[in-house]
Amino acid sequence: MAEYVGAIDQGTTSTRAMVFDHQGRVVAQHQLEHRQILPRAGWVEHDPEEIWQRTLAACREAFDGVELAALGITNQRETTVVWDRRTGRPFSNAIVWQDTRTDRIAEALDRDGRGELIRRKSGLPPATYFAGGKLQWLLENVDGVRQAATDGDALFGTMDTWVLWNLTGGPGGGVHVTDVTNASRTMLMDLETLDWDDELLAVFGVPRAMLPAIRSSAEPAGYGLTSVPLGATRSGTGGADSRIPLTAALGDQQAATVGQVCFAAGEAKNTYGTGNFLLLNTGTEPVRSTHGLLTTVAYRFGDEPAVYALEGSIAVTGSAVQWLRDQLHIIRTAAESETLALRVPDNGGVYFVPAFSGLFAPYWRSDARGAIVGLSRFDTDAHLARATLEAICYQSRDVVEAMQQDSGVTLDVLKVDGGVTANDLCMQLQADILGVPVSRPVVAETTALGAAYAAGLATGYWRDTDELRANWNESHRWKPTWSARQRDEGYRRWRMAVERTLDWVEIGAG
């Protein structure tokens, strides 16, 4: 029987289980969506128990009859859940990374000066995006959480921790761990010590006892063995053992960085999903941003030094296309956005800034809200579709501009991955708006691949990162076609459109 590596990709809208061979090719996969719970404007929640059940079902379908050397997990980052260690039941729905209910918390931190402490130690600005404020909100607003935390019965985790805990036994002895990449998204970890920081915990009123242990992204000793049947067997046991070693965990964007083999300082990738996430490898020393980017951990393999990244996080990109489909009903499928946009040669003067939950990098403005500007009687649904695709690309240019100013690195090529990269027009627009080639790999869903790579490195399934580089192959490359004048004028008007979105809501008003 052939030997493979498995990956669980627990994302914002769905959970996918995938199996990869030694060449990094997809052998099997299964994907299941979960509900998006929207209790009020600005609030986004998930049901953690639903996600766990969907994870289990996806694994059992994809892994059935497969022999696995190891299993890695990657996850939507910052999404926060607190549960009872005795029963395994969550105290409430998980608060999703897009949720903005903590805007008053974030604004107060900047107003009274504690924001500088958070920036210095965690590399992150106070923002609704990150898990620390969400955890504070749960401690203060959900009945029983503060007392359970005081008693040592409440456990906190991002979705990697929740899935790992359930996979390894749940209330019967689940392993309560996270990795450095997910911990670096909480505002609670010191970027240099790679440990929870007492000063930061005090800022948010978080008891240390409810936090998971922080481990490397790839653990040769493993986090533990699966204790629930997933349909797979452990390699080398002749089918006699169904306990699979869990040897890797990374936040989804860091996993995609590994999947895109961005192992050298100066290499960057952009993942196009619900939001966009552009990461630039900066090596083993953290680079502090002065232009609105995040300093974060890219990965840490075993006992090797951690590798850091600058990140530009954009909240709404692919989900703007979903908005055209689900709220405006001008397209029936996401793929139709390309067909509709191709009916017109340009945006007709229309610019769409999808600041549905404020603006993330490089602006960090929770007071912003979405705006469509430049409309005239001439414009049609096709112009709006094209403006939506351009918005994805202009937001990425905002981040690239900030990245170049922080790091001094000028991109020669942008590696891209994620579902939106199937949209050829959008990728051509990205090349035109950036003025650099855009390159898509053969395996476009690199998030799960990165988790598999990390898990396989931990067990020796792959010898080293050079072997992973050899697996990377380009599927398509888009070259810029716009003139410099066209590019500059389009970006100037984009920045004008962004200005129209600011100061739209009072902090805390939603």
| DSSP codes of every residue in 447-463 | HHHHHHHHHHHHHTSS-
CA distance 304 to 58: 33
Q: Is 318 annotated as a binding residue?
A: yes
Q: Is 252 annotated as a binding residue?
A: yes
Pairing of the two strands 307-314 and 276-283: antiparallel
CA dihedral angle for residue 341, residue 346, residue 351, residue 357, rounded to 10 degrees: 30
CA distance 71 to 451: 8
Q: Is 419 annotated as a binding residue?
A: yes
Q: Is 322 annotated as a binding residue?
A: yes
CA distance 129 to 312: 12
Q: Is 405 annotated as a binding residue?
A: no
| DSSP codes of every residue in 28-53 | EEEEEE---B--STT--EE-HHHHHH
Q: Is 168 annotated as a binding residue?
A: no
Q: Is 253 annotated as a binding residue?
A: yes
Short-list 419, 314, 294, CA closest to 13: 419
Q: How many CB atoms lie within 10 A of CB 150?
A: 13
Q: Is 129 annotated as a binding residue?
A: yes
Q: What residues contact residue 501 under an 8 Å CB cut-off, 6+ apart? A: 353, 355, 359, 365, 368, 369, 370, 371
Q: Is 10 annotated as a binding residue?
A: no
Question: Would you say 438 and 430 are in contact if contact means Cβ atoms under 8 Å apart?
Answer: yes
Residues in the chain: 510
Q: Is 224 annotated as a binding residue?
A: no
127 phi, psi to nearest 5 deg: -155, 160
Q: How many CB atoms lie within 10 A of CB 136?
A: 18
Q: Can you read off the two tokens belonging to residue 458?
A: 């931990």
Q: Is 65 annotated as a binding residue?
A: no
Q: Is 376 annotated as a binding residue?
A: no
User: Can you give 242-299 as a three-state secondary structure string?
Assistant: CCCEEEEEEEHHHHHHHHCCCCCCCCEEEEECCCEEEEEEEECCCCCCCCCCEEEEEE
User: Which residues sit in the known binding site for ADP?
Assistant: 12, 16, 274, 318, 419, 423
User: Which residues sit in the known binding site for ATP?
Assistant: 12-14, 274, 318, 322, 419
User: Which residues sit in the known binding site for glycerol?
Assistant: 77-78, 129, 252-253
User: Which residues sit in the known binding site?
Assistant: 12-14, 16, 77-78, 129, 252-253, 274, 318, 322, 419, 423
User: Which residues sit in the known binding site for sn-glycerol 3-phosphate?
Assistant: 12, 77-78, 129, 252
